[in-house]
Structure 1
Amino acid sequence: MVRKIVFVIPPAVELLDLAGPMQVFEEAKFYGFELELEFYSLQNSISSAVGLPFGNIPSFLEAELKQGDFLFIPGVDFEVLEKLLETELIFFDWLANCYQKQVIICSVCNAALFLGKAGLLDNRECTTHWRRVELMQMLFPKAKVLNDVLFVKSDTIYTSAGISAGIDLALSVLEELTNPLFVNKVARGLVVYHRRSHQHTQANIYLDYRNHINPKVHQIQDYLTENLSTEITIESLASMVNTSPRNLSRIFKEATQITILDFLTGLRLEKAKTLKSNPEYTIDYIAAQCGFKSARQLQRILKK
């Protein structure tokens, strides 16, 4: 099924709020995930917060959204936002209607205030740019506004903190639609590293230990992820990045805080758990696909 991602662009939009999430989904399309991206405007004439004009974009009223579609609303220049909160009553009614249809509504930065104005944040945990946390709590006292988190998911309402946090939210949405390994490819393609808020799912080996900038270690991590069933030695890995086994072990531990063996074992266990969900696979087949020497070794490690 082709998933639909819709962006509604307000006047004085913050460019990174729009371009960050949009690029995440465009990168996903590059890797073969079927997505339909659509763009609509809040007003007839749209330009960005820095004055960059947009072309002719259809009105949000023309968007056809259904249950399970995603709607992204990027943040805007704050002075313009204050005016929009008082004038765009039709838009707020439209947002409330989208919520009733179970469209998944995602705000980036201060666009969370649009959701509050539509009555979608009452008794709900949410977040926004740190500069607007106190204001949002004051304007919408029934909302449970959180500070110091990247994004919050509550039912079908997703809110994210300022600017680049929209990328984190988009990566998390993409993980809902695909899997952690695919998201890792997208994040690496964008040269960003997937971060998580405390509201998100538990950590995953494909995305952990990536918060570093050592290209050799990233190369080794990518190779290990994609070649679990092959025989792997520290000597062959070191040869790949033109260094010695001892030096590779050192720089890998410095960058990730774990050893190569621990990282490799984590990858193998994660894949084994995934394959075990298929009843047609025997334990011997799973062990072979994950690079374990025997089914007994896999079972022993799983028990631990």
Structure 2
Amino acid sequence: MQENRAHRTVAMVLFDNVLLLDVTGPMDAFAIANRFLPEDQRYRLLTVACEPGAIRGSCGLQVVADLPLAALPGAVDLLLVPGGPGAYDITLPELEHWLGQAARQARRFGAICTGVFLLGRAGLLGGYRCTTHWNYVERLARMFPEAQVETEQIYVMDRNLITSGGITAGIDLALAVVAEDHGKALALEVAKVLLVARHRQGGQTPYGPLLAAVPRDDSPIARVQAYIVDHIDQAYTVQKMADMVAMSGRNFARTFQREVGITPLQYLQNARIDQARKLLEGSELALKVVAARCGFGSDRHMRKVFCERIGMTPAQYRAQFGGV
């Protein structure tokens, strides 16, 4: 979409308890893009809210919207909804009703982080691919089964809907819009000004654990899960896991997948990766030692698994997330 439309209007919705970085990150990216654009191609940036007056963000700072909802021009180029506790902890009936109409009139609409929950409650996610912060993707999928929730991408563009992962991913979303509107070269210039990568390695996957909290109850499957995590350096087969709880291999595998949602071997690999990530983040152990302690067998195999599952090598992961 390289059409030159005068004054592309980007409208950002504000509400109490909004995460302000979801607002300012994308808006600053568009504002910086304006520095490079001729006047007749610049973005027109607006904020809208239900009521006039100050709105308090989740960090305590206050902002004031430019316009009330009803005063927003009928057909904006891009309507964005930020996230924050105000987007997912409570319902906002007036805003959600308005969104249902305003988003359908906009050329494009989208959400940063948990703002997608407001779009969902407004009935706008049906049949679309979308994403949100890695910590909320399962909740999003449960609440809105009519949507196709992507779990790993930093942002997802599907027709006229664009959604992003958490917080700073709103900048990635804005850069993607700039690239679509004005080309990749301009998006790269904006990224350089912001000191961010034009494309992040690994998507959202490196930022969150692959496994939820390990259950510690006395059910057979939970006992196996806990044993694997506590003895991650050992070698396992599905039959060995089944023998721990006196089940046949076939019945164990079927029961495990039904209760956990993934196969026993997928669980094992995720547990090995999560433990390796902890060691890479918090120690200076050699990669071959990390691989041995996590049951990978060799650092070469660990590298292969990391590249396939995390989108970067163990060395790259340590360089990005290591804290020692």
Q: TM-score range by the shorter chain?
A: 0.5 to 0.7
Amino acid at match of 1:50: C
Matched, 1:121 2:125: yes
Contact 2:46 2:66 in 1 (8 A): no
- How far residue 107 of structure 1 moved from its aligned partner, in angstroms, is 0.2
Contact 2:179 2:187 in 1 (8 A): yes
Secondary structure of 2:117's counterpart equals helix
Task: Output the CA distance in 2 between the equivalents of 1:176 and 1:118.
Answer: 26
Secondary structure of 2:157's counterpart equals strand
Matched, 1:53 2:53: no
Task: Output the CA distance in 2 between the equivalents of 1:84 and 1:31.
Answer: 40
Q: What is aligned with 1:131? A: 135
Secondary structure of 1:185's counterpart equals helix
In structure 2, which of residues 6, 19, 22 is the aligned counterpart of residue 17 of structure 1?
22
Task: Output the CA distance in 2 between the equivalents of 1:6 and 1:197.
Answer: 29
Secondary structure of 2:95's counterpart equals helix
Q: Which runs of 5+ in 2 are unaligned?
A: 1-5, 204-324
Amino acid at match of 2:87: L
Matched, 1:65 2:69: no
In structure 2, which of residues 150, 158, 162 is the aligned counterpart of residue 146 of structure 1?
150
Secondary structure of 1:54's counterpart equals strand
Q: Which runs of 5+ in 1 are unaligned?
A: 200-304
**33-42 or 110-119: which moved more?**
33-42
Task: Output the CA distance in 2 between the equivalents of 1:12 and 1:61.
Answer: 21
- How far residue 198 of structure 1 moved from its aligned partner, in angstroms, is 10
Contact 2:50 2:94 in 1 (8 A): no
Task: Output the CA distance in 2 between the equivalents of 1:18 and 1:71.
Answer: 12
- How far residue 197 of structure 1 moved from its aligned partner, in angstroms, is 9.2
Matched, 1:32 2:30: no
Q: What is aligned with 1:75? A: 83
- 1:96-141 residue CA offsets vs partner (Å, 9 max, x unmatched): 2123324311200000001111111112211011111111111111
Amino acid at match of 2:47: F
Amino acid at match of 1:40: V
**17-26 or 89-98: which moved more?**
89-98
Query: How many residue pairs align between the two structures?
Result: 194
- 1:65-113 residue CA offsets vs partner (Å, 9 max, x unmatched): 316x111111112xx334542xx22322222212332431120000000
- 1:127-170 residue CA offsets vs partner (Å, 9 max, x unmatched): 01111111111111111111111011112111110011100010
Q: What is aligned with 2:194? A: 190
- How far residue 196 of structure 1 moved from its aligned partner, in angstroms, is 6.2
- Taking structure 2 as the reference length, the TM-score comes to 0.56
- Taking structure 1 as the reference length, the TM-score comes to 0.59
How high is the sequence identity, in percent, across the aligned residues?
30
Matched, 1:172 2:181: no
Secondary structure of 2:9's counterpart equals strand
- 1:203-244 residue CA offsets vs partner (Å, 9 max, x unmatched): xxxxxxxxxxxxxxxxxxxxxxxxxxxxxxxxxxxxxxxxxx
Secondary structure of 1:167's counterpart equals helix
Contact 2:47 2:65 in 1 (8 A): no
Task: Output the CA distance in 1 between the equivalents of 2:194 and 2:84.
Answer: 24
Contact 1:149 1:197 in 2 (8 A): no
Task: Output the CA distance in 2 between the equivalents of 1:137 and 1:81.
Answer: 16
CA RMSD of aligned residues (A): 2.1
Contact 2:22 2:167 in 1 (8 A): yes
Amino acid at match of 1:13: V
Contact 1:9 1:74 in 2 (8 A): yes
> Closer, same or farther in 2 for the Cα pair 1:56/1:180, shift >3 Å?
closer
Contact 1:11 1:42 in 2 (8 A): no
Contact 1:65 1:98 in 2 (8 A): yes
> Closer, same or farther in 2 for the Cα pair 1:198/1:72, shift >3 Å?
farther
**135-144 or 26-35: which moved more?**
26-35
Q: What is aligned with 1:228? A: none
> Closer, same or farther in 2 for the Cα pair 1:197/1:124, shift >3 Å?
farther
Contact 1:150 1:197 in 2 (8 A): no
Task: Output the CA distance in 2 between the equivalents of 1:153 and 1:6.
Answer: 18
